[in-house]
Each structure stands twice: as structure tokens, then as C-alpha cells.
Structure 1
Amino acid sequence: MKTIYKITIMMSLAILGVSCSDDECGYELESVDGVSCVPFEANKANSGFTVATCYAAESNEPVGVIFDTRYNSQAPIGDDWGPGLNTPSETIHPANWTPENIGQVFGIAIDSDENIYLASSNIYQQGVFPSPASNVVSGQVYKCTGPSWTAVPFFTVPNTGGTLNGLGNIAYDKLNDQLFVSNLEDGNIYRYDMQGNLIETYDPWSPDGGSAGIVNQEERVWGIGVNYESGVAKVYFPRVAIMPNPERSIYSVTLNPDGSFNNVAASLEISGVAGSQSTITDIAFSSSFNEMLVAERGDPHNAKTQSFSKSGGSWSFNLQYFLGGNAGADGENAAGGVDFSNREVDEDIDSECSSQFWATSNFMEVRAVSGFAYGLQGISYAGNTSWTTPAPNANQDTDLFVDFNGTYNTSDKNTIGDVETFDASECFDLCDF
């Protein structure tokens, strides 16, 4: 298991009488507040690759894809990078990532052993699309291991399915080597070990009444993310309460040292989150642990992606980013997925850690294309350009674009899902948070 071990390793070496150099033992000891630890070894072989999900209408069409986005400085700014990625070595469509095999999926997580996890979802019903394929198991999480990335049922969260019901999203905890899944059936967060065993659940709000179907709006937990602050792990999640007053907030719960839920009420981290949609579907954190991305989903032309920065223990609004073109609200075409990535410079794929991010987007207006792209938009964390200011090139001057299928028409509206990038080990140091 690739995670941090505090004190235990040093005690074990002392008891066994083992003495070795860093090279002989394969790790480098560091110290946090006088306690020795081993830095987290994040993904290496696939660092910089990006996983994305999408809706598929036909039973044999892909519901997910893996792109080789490592060499992003060589991508064409403002144009569709998709054709350049459309080779067997750079675009991977795992054979059973189709509706007939796994149904529709949205949420993605990647663990420290480079396994991918896909979470079943009915979120595409927000558009004009029907329920997932009949053989999907509502609440199912799949595990995908390279090099084939075949999706294998891993565990099932109790869920009865139905309109919009299913799993909200899934997140991996690097520090404690475990998974968290949000369940729209009861509004709970489920904690699983890496063998697929349910350990415990956490209900941040009031208990569910027990009736089948999606829980009331005020109880729904969609997006979920894990951050590391002041020596502990914290699980973050949104709350969008519509009645009696619209309230959009980000909460957290601090985990115990053993990774279990702290039996306390959820803590309010950010209040008054801008936006109008009822679903905040993804939360991501930078490798510095001080930057947060938040993406909402719903109206394909009125959904925001924005960031927050942490200073002195508090989060404050940083930026709103411009996704897609000028349809409805300028640049508010978020599809609900977001994750930090690193910028490659001179083939060093982690030269600039968390300096940019990938977001899923609708209505992307790109160069040399008659129509609109739907897929991924690569954006500098420092900000990008609005579609309307300055005219005429706008975010074509600043951003990367990847269309999922090369059709360039509005029939792909609402079909784009989540995104997750394989981390680079050089960028994450869990001995320093």
C-alpha cells in the first residue's frame, strides 16, 4: 500500500536491527513535527493521462475514455487536440466500457496503484436522455486495472435507482488508502477499504426517511473530494438547499488519524457559492492543498466552474473560468467535471504542478471547426479569457480543447461527464501539509 507511514517504519527498522541507505530501502525518510514519515508515492507510469466519462446512446458505444494528455505544451492552443490524440497509443477505449456491460457512469477516482474506479450514475437524465441500460446495477462501482482497464464490479452501494438517483461521485483518500462515495439514495457518504468492503457511513444532515428513490434536495451530496490540512484528511462535499431560501455551500468533515469519520457535525467551509444549478458535481484540490476547484452541472449553458484559495485556515473565492463559448451566460457551459493537472515543459510532464486543470465542457468554440466541440477544456489555474472579451479569439488564445468524437454539433449537449487525471509523484508530498 502506497501511503504515509508515521513512526511505524522507524520502530520496525529498529526492532529488526535493519540499517540501510535511502537507495537500498527505496524510500526517503522525512520528518513532520519530529515524526518520521514516508512521502506518498503517487502514480508514475500513467502520470499525466486523463480519464473522462460520457453518455452513450447505443449499447456498444464508449461511456469513458483515457487520453494521453502528458505532453500538453505541444497541444494546439485554441484548436481541437482530439484528432492528434486519436491513435491507439494516445486514446484508449477499454473494451467493456459500454452501456451493455456497465451502463452509464459519471464519477471517476484513481488510486495510488493506478487503478481507475467508475461510479454508476443517472445524472445524464438532466438532459433528454433515458435511464441507463437495463443491465446496470444501480449504485455499482467498477474497478479498472491496466493495461486492459477492463471494468470489473468492485462493490455496490445500496441504491434503488430511479430518476436522477444513483451515485453522486467518488473520491480516493491518498493518506489513508480508501474510497469515499456519495449516495443520492440516502444522502450519506460511504467509506470503503481497498478490498471493496464497506467500513462505515456518514450522514452530514438529517436521517433519510427510508423511502425508495433520490433523497430530498437539501440532503443530496453530489460532488466529493479529499484534502489534507494541518496533518489530517478532510472530506469535502457541497450542499445546495433550494427551499425555503437558495443556499449553496461547501462543507467538510475531518477524519480521525485512522481515517475514520469524526462523529461531529459537518463544518461549513464556504458559504454563498455562486451559481444557479442544483447540482455541484465535482470538487478537486491542488497538490499544494491550498487551491480548490468546484464544478456545477445542470443547464448546459448556465453552469459554472470556479476556484477558491485557502489562507490562514479559511477559503475565499479566487476565480470563475470561462468554459465554452457565448451561449446563454458567457463561458458558463460547465458539464460538471474538473481536476487539476500539471503543465509539461520540455517533456518534463510535471514541470509545473497543478498549474492548470481539465474541465468537462459543452459548446466549445474552437478554431478550424465548423460547429462546436464537446469534451475537455484545458485551462490555466491563473485564469483564462472570456469569449466576449477581447473579441474575436477569446479563450481560443489561452485554452486547450479535446472533442470526444469529432462530430462538432449540438447533439452532444449534456452527454459529457466527469474527468480525472493521474497524479505525478513529484507533485504530491503528504509529509508536508
Structure 2
Amino acid sequence: MHAWPASEVPALPGTGRDLRIHDTATGGPVTLDPGPVARIYVCGITPYDATHIGHAATYNAFDLVQRVWLDTKRQVHYVQNVTDVDDPLLERAARDNVDWTALAEQETALFREDMTALRMLPPRQYIGAVEAIPGIVPLVERLRDSGAAYELEGDVYFSVEADPHFGGVSHLDVAAMRLLSAERGGDPDRPGKKNPLDPMLWMAARDGEPSWDGGSLGRGRPGWHIECVAIALDHLGMGFDIQGGGSDLVFPHHEMGASHAQALTGEFPMAKAYVHAGMVALHGQKMSKSKGNLVFVSALRREGVDPAAIRLALLAHHYRADWEWTDQVLQDALARLDRWRAAVSRPDGPSAEALVEEIREALANDLDAPAALAAVDRWAVLQSERGGTDEGAPGVVSRAVDALMGVAL
């Protein structure tokens, strides 16, 4: 599966800062020093309704991570998956009487278009669950053969007790885990499981549903969590720098994925930091496909909204915050974009060297995009009120905003 084209990232004078970011597993900030190649895995979409503003907010956060690392002159090895076979996708296809593969391809193509328009840097590997199945099957067999997994009526389940570190990502109690498991694709009430929290690794073929050759597992399809584990281990290995996604993935997805990987390898941890973006609401409720309260990036683009303004609307909120999309959020972003473009259109202006360092410091400090925006706002005010004599300043500001925040002025 191919990703989308990369926009050029302008080179800036000087060197960026090492990233300090909030780690869900430890509950506090960590400073990451990845070495010459930073490794990041971000969980991708299930392609049946893309790309809403909640998606865009999540991928904006991890695009900023990439940009901070690139500014330190590191390479970035970024991997993202597409869950192109799963119950919600199959259910949507059945509801709309369309082929599930066609639906997945259509929505993935739309996602690529939105990511390109928003200037999100693409992953080096963009891997679908279906194409990952040949690598998933041996992992499930290894877990089963080692005693870390077991069969139940043809299905294969992971035993959470096989990982002594289980619970170390979310730090939730058992009652909360059981509730979230039921809400987010698990089956804690199925009779015969060793532990209600045990997640499915391999689902035996069901009538009327797609299935693949699973070797000794029989025909079936993979569970949700093992998909990401197989892709991450194949392309990044253990101990990569960031496992990222929305905060609704903390449990069960990232908790279970970590345990799968740790049981497979005997190594800990799967990732040095677990980083999660907040949820976006509309009309007082979390934006979600099940509720149907979605604002789509593609719809905004069709209405003529500049993608740079959409990006500024996302950047106006700290990535870890839960926030609400409103018409005013978009109007504020459009007004900011106009001010900034007017400021950089002049032939000279106030010196921009200090501004570049302010943006760098803000983003290195747990991706504090609102502080970065405020710094550019102050420069734009000086430009409009007093101007300046530095002929290169507007160009420096324009390149810095593009390189570090992905906004083309």
C-alpha cells in the first residue's frame, strides 16, 4: 500500500531541540534522544468514514513530532497502518450494500488526499492489515506454541497473564479495563476465556465474512492488536521511540499491543513513550463515527476552506487536550491565516531569529503548538504596527511556520 506525496520541509538555520513529551505509561514528561534515526509508529484509520477532524487532530500531533525531529537533523522512520479489514468496516459495507474492499480503497484514497492537502508528512511504510497477514500468522503461532495464547472454539486468544507488565500503559483497574474492552471491540463476557480481558489474536472464518489461510491456525483473519504489533516489529523493532494515537487507543489497543510484543520478544518496553492525542467534540459530544457527529476535512475543502486554515484550527489546541470544533474555531483560524500572510507579504520586517527559537522551544516542550502560534502572532503584530528593516525576516518566518508547523503561507 502506498502513502501520499511528501511536501518539502524547508531547512532552517541553527538546530532544533530534543523533544520532551508526555508519556502515558509513566504519567509524566520524558526527553527522547532517539539517535540518528527516530522511530515512530502511529495507528491509522479503519477506512469506512475518513477523514474527520478528530482524525486530523491526531495526525497533526504526530506530524509535529516528525517536524521537531527533522529540525534536529535526524532522520525519521515513521510507520502507519490501515485497518482495512475489521468488523466496523464490514458492517458499514453491508449496511450500504457495497463491497467491503471497494469501501476500504475509496476511504483510504480520500484519507491520502486529505493528508496531502493538510501537508502531513507521509509514513515511510503505510501498511494495510490485509497485506500484513503473512507476517501476523507466524506471530500468533509463536504465542500459541509458547503458551502465551490458547484456542477457544477455533479462535485464538492472547493470555494477558503471559506479560508481567500488562497494565503498565493504561494503569487502569480491572473493572475499568473490562468496561472499555466491551466498548472497544473486546468480548469480556464470552464463556470459556481464561481471563475476561484476553483479546482475540485470530478469528476463525465466519460464514459470509472474508478469511485468509492461517497455516496451522486454520482460515480466519487477525485480531486488531496483533496487526499493529506485527507491522511495528517488522519495520521498527522493539524499543522504538513513540507509539502514538488518539487517547481512545490507550486501552485496550496500546495496552494489548505492548503485551503482545513483550510476550513475543521477552523485551520491555515495546516503545519508549506512549503518546496520545485528545478527543475532538461536536455539539458537546465526542466526534465519532458511531454517533455520526462528524466534520470531514474533505467537506471543508469542497466548501473552499483553505487547508492551511484547517491546520491552524488544529494547532490552536494543545494536542493532549479534549476540545470542541465550532464555527468560531474555524473563523479564528481563517483570520489568523490572513494576518500571517499579510505580515510575510511585506519586503522586510522585525528580526525573526528570536521567533524561530521561540517556536522551536514551544514545540519541543510537549508539542505546545498554541504557544508557537502566540509567538508568531506577536511577530505579526509588530510587523503590522511598526514594521522593521530586516529584509530576510518575512521569508524566515514563512519557512519556519512551514517547516515546524506544516502551514504554507
TM-score range, shorter chain: under 0.3
- Of structures 1 and 2, the one scoring higher in RCO (CA 8 A, sep 6+) is 2
When the two structures are superposed, what TM-score results if normalisation uses the length of structure 2?
A: 0.25
Bigger radius of gyration: 2
Higher strand share: 1
